[in-house]
Every structure is written in structure tokens, then in C-alpha cells.
Structure 1
Amino acid sequence: MNEIKKGYVSIFIAGLAWSTIGLFGNTIMSAGVAPEQVAFIRLFLGCLVLVIYCGIKNRELLSISKKGIMYSIIIGILCQAAFNLFYFNAINKLGVSMAAVLLYTSPLFLAIFSRLIYKEELTKNKIVSLVVCFIGALLAVTGGKLELTGISILGLTIGVLSAITYALMPIISKTALKENSSITILIYGFLFGAIVMIPSAKPLEILAYVGDMKLLGAMIMLGVLPSALAYIFYTGGISKGVELSVVGIVASVELVVSVIIGWTIIGEDFSIIKLLGVLLMVASTVIVLRGNNDEHNYIERNSKVEIV
């Protein structure tokens, strides 16, 4: 297997790992642990596992610049503490599958932020992709029914906020990554996020649940699988030379598996219309990324012609 294929496999594994966040989070919250505490557990244990990993592999990854610390504090508050808080509350109120669907609307907000902050062009391809994503999310959430009877409006709001805070991550980290590796920013982002959550999470109360081995196992898995391990495989896959235009397509397995877990293992509501909505959201990612790849190839071909 060549390096590129190994990269695809790594990113696919990362997507599978991310898809379990709802499963473990739901298991822990079902035992009476508050969403704020689940968010703290993910950040704290994720940070701990990544520190151990870097200590074994490359201790230099634990070094961070002064600017990196500043960005990590912002990322820790907005993109880690706030995101995890919103996402686990959305899972608690809406269920795993619906929370995952709302989270996957983040490309809509990322496109808006990129346009406003970095003046990135909204091409026809991007607009089509965003429309398809919105329609898919609408179908996946409502099941094709226009009324929202039985759906928590607060839950929907929180779910959308999770997508917004998730979309802020690449926006804020774009500058920070010029001086620091993604793993380094992630470690300190997790750390500052966990610190910010201490007052609301009340970590000492979590110790009361440690005696339950099943619950303790779910907590450990939450910190390892969809937190540390997912990012280790993700950054490892990118380092193999995989084109960034393909990364999103491969990692989109996260949404599909998250929804399948919600429908099959947890027993959440399922319908063909909802499945169609999920598939449309995945298709929207494929549309925009293929368009970007075609644009890149076009520019590359023209550049070669000019050089000749």
C-alpha cells in the first residue's frame, strides 16, 4: 500500500472515530452526568492522551509560541469549551443522529465566515453545495414534515450553535498554524477549554461515577477515540500527502456512521426521507470539493501553458 492510500485509510479511521462521540456521550449522560461534565471529560482526557502521545513520539510538539498560546486560549473558549458544551446539550435534547446532522451544517457557516473575514469567493459550485446541504439538513431534521411538533426549538438552536462554533476552528487556527503544528494547537486548545469549564463542570462531582466500570470505560473511550485518536489519525493522514480537496469527502463518513449509530444502536427515529437528507448533505461536500479540485487543476494547466 502506497503512502497516499495509507493517508486515505488514516482519514477514514479518523472519521469513524469522530462518529462515536455521540454514542459515548449519550451513554454517559444517560447515567445522570450533566452535558457540561461530559464536555469537560472529553477535553481533559483528550488533552491528557495527546500529551502522552507527544511525549512518546516527539516532545517538541509540546512547545508553543506566545502567539500560539493566545490563539489556543481563544480556540479553547470558542471552539472547544463552547462547541462541546453546545454539542453535548444538543445530543441530550435532540438525540445523537439529529445533533450530528445539525453539526454537519458547519460548512454553511464556514463559507460565510470565510467570505466575511478572508474575502474568499463564493463560487457557483459553493453556492450549489450550500443549498444542497441546507435542503439535506432540513429533510434529515424534519423527515420531510414542515411542522416542528415534538422537536425542541432550544435543542435546534443549541445544535446550530454547535455548528457555528465548530466552523470557527479553521477560521481562528488559520493564522495560529503558521507557527505551530495542529496537534500542538489542539493540545493547548483542549487544555484551556477544560480550564474554562471547571466552574460549570464541577470535576470533583464526576469522581462519584468512577466506581461504575461501564461508565468509566465510556468516559475513557470518549477521551481516547473521538478526541485524541481521531486527530492523531487525521493529521497523520494529511501528512501522507493526501490532497486537501479529498480529505473532507473521506472524513464525511463521520456523519453517516453517527446517524446509523443513532438509528440502530440507540434506537432513534428513522425514515427514508431522513436518510435521503443525510445523503444529500454528504453529496454537498463532494460537490464543493470536486469543484475546488477542478478549479485547482484548471489553474495548474493554465500556469503550465503560460510557462511554455
Structure 2
Amino acid sequence: MYVLAAACSFGLLSTFVKKAYDAGYHVGDVVGSQCLFGVIMLWLLVLVVSKSARGAKAESSAAAYRAKPRQVLTLMAMGTTSGLTGIFYYGALQYISASFAIVLLFQFTWIGIVLEAIMGRKRPGADKILSLVVLFAGILMASGYLKGGLEAPSLLGTTLGLLSALTYSLYIVVSGKAATTVAPITRSALMQTGSLVLVMLVYPPHFLWNGSLHEQLLPWALLLAFFGVVIPPLFFSLGVPRIGGGMATIMGAAELPTAVTMSFVVLHEAVSALQWVGVIITMIGIAVPELIKRKRRDVPFSGHTGGFSS
């Protein structure tokens, strides 16, 4: 549920970004303000929660909110994968259509499974492979790319799109791997601080002095910060260690149906029947591994078949 909520939270972002763009703001304003306010929110949460732990005189608990210098550097370095995903994806959109770009981004589903198999030296199970096949079909239809004629894609745009998928996969896989003794909220704050440093180097924060924050940028920055920087990394940190990076990449595909639904309901964009079918198939693909797992748990009892739900 944590990973699913994080993915759905990511799915809300495209709607907020489009609204911000309609208000006249560009990529640097939107991405930079999102990262800045998100990091501020995370560190405020760390301060409040750690203070509460100290107040309860739980020294072991309070210590979890502190990180050693090596852990700080490691987590900040890993956090750059989040910043790189945004940079590569927005870069790809300059050269290829949005529908093709999202197809490329969602290659993270199989890339994540491959990465986990390589890192864990373990072959993916049949349930994950089946889920990926279903997911790929659903994602391709839900993206809307099959709706019209194929374009001759830009090599640079395609490369950037695939790089965004790779860095997103890395982000999901590593988010629960490093400094596991550190509290998830502190890990998230440190990782997003690393992302902020990278984004600020690429997109200098002109919004801080050009008056954008005093106009219409602030509300969108706060929404993007909360749903794009605070909720996803925190929930991924809580959820990934419990289900593994491979399952997390599968659950992360919930971002696509969320984005399509939001664009239809909020932005009133036309969504074809084929795209809705793709959304349904994507949801089935997300559910397949869990359904197979629950079926395997079923045990006979007094002539009946029952199961335990986690």
C-alpha cells in the first residue's frame, strides 16, 4: 500500500505541472521550486518527529533520526537519481511527443526487474514475468501512442527517455537499500537534498528573485513538493524494504493510470477507449503478482480452501 500510494502520488504531478505551465512558468521554475519546498517540508518533518522521539526519552529511537557523515553522503548521492529522472524526462519532451516519452519512461518496469535480478543474482519469478508482459501491453495502450501514426523518433529524445527510465528504476531499487538503520523520514530528506543540489546546479533558482513566488507559482510549488517530493520518497522508503525492488517497480506502474484519470477528470483531455482499456490492463498487471502470491498461500481446511490476507 505504501508503494502503491507513492506511485499514485507521482501520477498526480503531470496535472499540476500542466496547470503551472498554463500559468506561464517554465521547467526551471517548476522543478526548482518543487525540490526546494519539498526538502524544506521533509526537514521540518524530521525536526518534529525526532523531537517527539527525544521527548519520549527513547534514545534508541531518537538516534535513528541521525545519520553518520558517510551515510549522509551515500543517501545524497542516491538521491541524485530522482533529480536525474526529472532532468532526463523533461529533456526528452523537447525532442519527442509526450505519448512516446511516457512509453519510454515506463520501461522502468522491466528495467527494475532486471536490476534486481542482477543485484540479487536471482532469476525473476514467473509471476513477475507474467505481470511485466501484461504491464507492457497496458502501458503501451494507455499511453495513447497507438492512437495515431508512428513518428520517426529523435535519437537524442529516445536516449533521454530511456535514461529517465533507468534512473527512475535505480531510484526505486536503491531507495530502501542504503542506511537502513536511519529512520525513513531522515533517509528521504537526505536523498531529496541530494536531488535538490543537482537540480539547482542544472536549473539556477531564478524563481527566488524574479517575483514568481509572489505571483501564482507558490501554490503549484507546494502541491508538487508535497505529492512529488514528500510523499513518494517517504512511502518508498517504508514500502520497498518490505516487498523488494522488483515488486516495487511493478506497483510503481500505478502512476500511469493515475495520470490518465487525472488528465481526463481535471484537465478534461480526450482519452480514447483504447487508452481506458490500457489503464484497466495496467491495473490487472499490477495485481497479478499479489493475486498469485495469495493463491499460493491458500491452504485446505475442513474440506474448504481458505487464505490469509496480509
Shorter-chain TM-score range? 0.7 to 0.9
Output the amino acid matched with 2:108.
S
Q: Establish whether residue 69 from structure 1 lines up as the match of residue 72 from structure 2.
A: yes
Q: CA deviation at 1:127?
A: 1.7
What is the aligned partner in structure 1 of residue 180 from structure 2?
Answer: 178
* Equivalent in 14, 21, 29 of residue 21 of structure 2: 29
For residues 248 and 185 of structure 1, do their structure 2 counterparts lie closer, same or farther at Cα, with a shift above 3 Å needed? same
Question: Equivalent residue of 1:63, what SS?
Answer: coil
8 Å Cα contact 2:85-2:164 kept in structure 1: yes
Question: Equivalent residue of 1:20, what SS?
Answer: helix
8 Å Cα contact 1:54-1:62 kept in structure 2: yes
What is the aligned partner in structure 2 of residue 301 from structure 1?
Answer: none
Question: Equivalent residue of 2:267, what SS?
Answer: coil
What is the aligned partner in structure 2 of residue 288 from structure 1?
Answer: 289
In structure 1, distance between residues paired with 2:173 and 2:43: 24
What is the aligned partner in structure 1 of residue 163 from structure 2?
Answer: 161
8 Å Cα contact 2:83-2:199 kept in structure 1: yes
Q: CA deviation at 1:278?
A: 2.4
In structure 2, distance between residues paired with 1:288 and 1:34: 40
What is the aligned partner in structure 2 of residue 274 from structure 1?
Answer: 275
Q: CA deviation at 1:279?
A: 2.1
Matches within 5 A, 1:29-68: 29-59=21-51, 60=62, 62-68=65-71
Q: CA deviation at 1:152?
A: 6.9
What is the aligned partner in structure 1 of residue 150 from structure 2?
Answer: 148
Output the amino acid matched with 1:42.
Q
In structure 2, distance between residues paired with 1:169 and 1:143: 26
Output the amino acid matched with 1:45.
F
Q: CA RMSD in A?
A: 3.6
CA displacement 1:279-305 (0-9 Å, x = unmatched) = 22222221123334556x48xxxxxxx
In structure 2, distance between residues paired with 1:263 and 1:224: 22
Question: Equivalent residue of 2:262, what SS?
Answer: helix
In structure 1, distance between residues paired with 2:169 and 2:35: 18
CA displacement 1:185-217 (0-9 Å, x = unmatched) = 211111111112223211134532435543221
Structure 2 unpaired stretches of 5+ = 52-61, 299-310
8 Å Cα contact 1:39-1:81 kept in structure 2: no
CA displacement 1:153-204 (0-9 Å, x = unmatched) = 7555544332221110243344314332332221111111111222321113
Q: CA deviation at 1:91?
A: 6.3
In structure 1, distance between residues paired with 2:46 and 2:236: 15
Question: Equivalent residue of 1:175, what SS?
Answer: coil
Which is further off, 273-282 or 169-178?
169-178
In structure 2, distance between residues paired with 1:110 and 1:90: 20
Which has the larger helix fraction?
1
In structure 2, distance between residues paired with 1:173 and 1:11: 11
* Percent identical residues: 20
